[in-house]
């Protein structure tokens, strides 16, 4: 078991170690973007399943995407409506995104700002992290930090006592939508109900 304090978790994440903490959807497994390979290995995850870049604010994430002025306006308007929250936007990646985040298609990146005070507090100090749900690939996301610590003993997992012990998460992964260049395509319906006609 590797349940740690907030200070130790932030220091570990900054040093390139795998960490786990609550978010508004399901608990995250997270690491510095350039160390993303560690997540693929820990989860036994196929490299054609990209990771999500999670940040404390939209401003922290825009440098990782690139688009025309008009596209940025569309993306920012949608993010303004749903962030912080359970919506992941898959957008063209800028050259700031390490290839390890999406080895099979490094031209896109999924970005999200979680609606979780503890997650935002961690991300403000670590900068954006590569994230995914905490579970072995193909299994259900683990909901309890103690379970994560048991299944992934090498991961620094936040002690429940560090944030009042309650995870105010919905237990459902984020909704994922992808920008095709002209409109949005829904890749996964999740925590936020999205109708493409309303976009």
* Contacting residues for 84 by C-beta, under 8 A, at least 6 apart: 24, 113, 114, 115, 116, 120
Interhelix angle for 6-14 vs 117-126, to 10°?
Answer: 40
Helix or strand (DSSP H, E) at 109 = strand 108-112
Q: Which of 7, 45, 8 is nearest to 29 (CA)?
A: 45
What is the per-residue pLDDT across 99-151, written as a single tens digit (0 to 9) for each? 999 988 899 999 999 999 999 999 999 999 999 999 999 999 998 888 999 99
Confidence of residue 161 (pLDDT cuts 50, 70, 90): confident
Buried b (16+ CB within 10 A) or exposed e, 11-35: bbbeeebbbbbbbbbbbbbbbbbeb
Write down the pTM of the prediction. 0.93
Q: In what order do the strands lie in the sheet with 52-54?
A: 3-4, 156-158, 19-21, 28-31, 129-133, 52-54, 108-112, 87-92, 175-179, 184-188
- All structural domains of the chain, each given as residue ranges with its CATH number in brackets, are 3-198 (3.90.870.10)
Give the number of residues written for the chain: 199
Confidence of residue 2 (pLDDT cuts 50, 70, 90): confident
What is the per-residue pLDDT across 23-60, written as a single tens digit (0 to 9) for each? 999 999 999 999 999 999 999 999 899 999 999 999 99
Whether the pLDDT of residue 167 is over 70: the answer is: no
The alpha-helical segments, DSSP class H, found in 45-191 are 58-61, 69-82, 117-126, 145-151
With beta carbons less than 8 A apart as the criterion, state whether 9 and 19 touch.
yes
pLDDT given at position 119: 95
Tell me what the mean pLDDT of segment 73-93 comes to.
Answer: 96
Helix or strand (DSSP H, E) at 6 = helix 6-14
pLDDT given at position 146: 87
């Amino acid at each position: 078991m590797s349940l740690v304090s907030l200070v130790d978790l932030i220091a570990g994440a900054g040093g390139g170690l795998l960490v786990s903490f609550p978010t508004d959807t399901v608990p995250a497994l997270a690491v510095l973007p350039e160390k993303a390979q560690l997540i693929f290995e820990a989860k036994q995850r196929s490299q054609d399943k990209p990771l999500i870049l999670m940040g404390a604010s939209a401003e922290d994430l825009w440098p990782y995407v690139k688009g025309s002025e008009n596209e940025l306006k569309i993306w920012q308007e949608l993010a303004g409506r749903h962030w912080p929250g359970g919506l992941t936007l898959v957008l063209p990646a800028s050259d700031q995104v390490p290839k390890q985040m999406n080895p099979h298609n490094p031209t896109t990146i999924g970005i999200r700002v979680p609606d979780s005070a503890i997650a935002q507090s961690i991300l403000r100090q670590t900068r954006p992290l590569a994230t995914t749900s905490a579970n072995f690939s193909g299994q259900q996301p683990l909901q309890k930090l103690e379970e994560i610590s048991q299944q992934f003993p090498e991961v620094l997992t936040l002690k429940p006592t560090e944030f009042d012990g309650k995870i105010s998460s919905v237990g459902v992964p984020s909704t994922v939508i992808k920008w095709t260049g002209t409109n949005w395509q829904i890749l996964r319906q999740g925590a936020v109900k999205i109708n493409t006609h309303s976009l």
